[in-house]
Structure 1
Amino acid sequence: MNVLVAEDEKDIRNLLRLHLEEAGYTVFLAKDGIEALEEIKNNTIDLGIFDVMMPRLDGFNLLRKIRETSQMPVIFLTARGDDMDKVLGLGLGGDDYLVKPVSMTELIARVGAHLRRNYEYPETKTAKKVSIGLRKFVS
């Protein structure tokens, strides 16, 4: 599955790439919303992770443009943690909104959850048993 990371901070962009690739995803990178639109135009993107505060085209306006033609899942990952920003991001069609700093384990879990919810995988057609300690769960 292809994930687009649109983040203006190079270190964060590379950290996200590293963890997502380790989890088995193909990652495309953009340093702003304009580059992100080019990546979407030139590649099949299954999910986007967008910062809100980016130069040239911010994450909210990037999502507005994307929603004109696509319903791909989008997770906002940003330092803007005000409730109004969260409401705006989700109201524009964002699927999730996480405030930095965030656990990479949680982010990867949310990416997987959104992809499972939005794309049909053969392995999700049957329940899987998950063991945690002494408890067993069916998912």
Structure 2
Amino acid sequence: MTNNYEDSHLQDEINNNQSLDGLQILVVDDSDDSLILTTFILETYGMQVTTATSALEALKLIKNQRFDIFIFDIMMPKVDGYSLIRKARQMLLWQKRHTPAIALTSLTAEESYNIALLSGFQGYVPKPVEAGVLIAEITKVLGISPGENGE
């Protein structure tokens, strides 16, 4: 019975967040499973998702494309999410753009949350990713209230 409720609740959330349709999202994660799950959730809500598996790949995409929001994994090899967001912020500063960003991580300590915010993220979502939590964080960092779609 819980699953039916959760499925129905998820569909209600999808209907209530139509204002997310068409948003351009960059998701960066070195874990294929996490990347697939996050992409599936976002595409279910009508967002257009571009993915990268490294910071270097992400920076090339950021240089050449515009995104409405970034979702970066924190724990990546070579260049972590904290460094990636700082580099992205520097790059966007030159272009006079600001793109909200969400840290995606299995780190749950309050200290890692604070480091994420100090590094340039506006939001924080723990792994494993839950659809409701991710969508709520996206609407929060974009300043979209659940009733803004005319419902």
- TM-score between the two structures when normalised by the length of structure 2: 0.73
Letter in 2 for 1:55: P
- 1:22 equivalent in structure 2: 44
Identity %: 35
Query: Which amino acid is 1:94 matched to?
Result: F
CA distance in 2, matches of 1:52, 1:74: 12
Higher RCO (Cα < 8 Å, 6 or more apart): 2
1:6 corresponding residue in structure 2? 28
| Mapping 1:1-139, distance limit 5 Å | 1-68=23-90, 69=93, 70-116=97-143, 124=148, 128=150
Unmatched segments (≥5 aa) in structure 1: 118-122, 130-139
The normalised TM-score by structure 1 is 0.79
Aligned residue pairs: how many? 122
Q: CA deviation at 1:99?
A: 1.7
Larger relative helix fraction: 2
4+ long deviations beyond 6 Å: none
Q: 2:133, 2:111 → 1: CA distance?
A: 23
The separation in 2 between residues aligned to 1:11 and 1:40, in whole angstroms, is 23
* Cα distance between partner residues in 1 of 2:37 and 2:142: 20
Higher strand share: 1
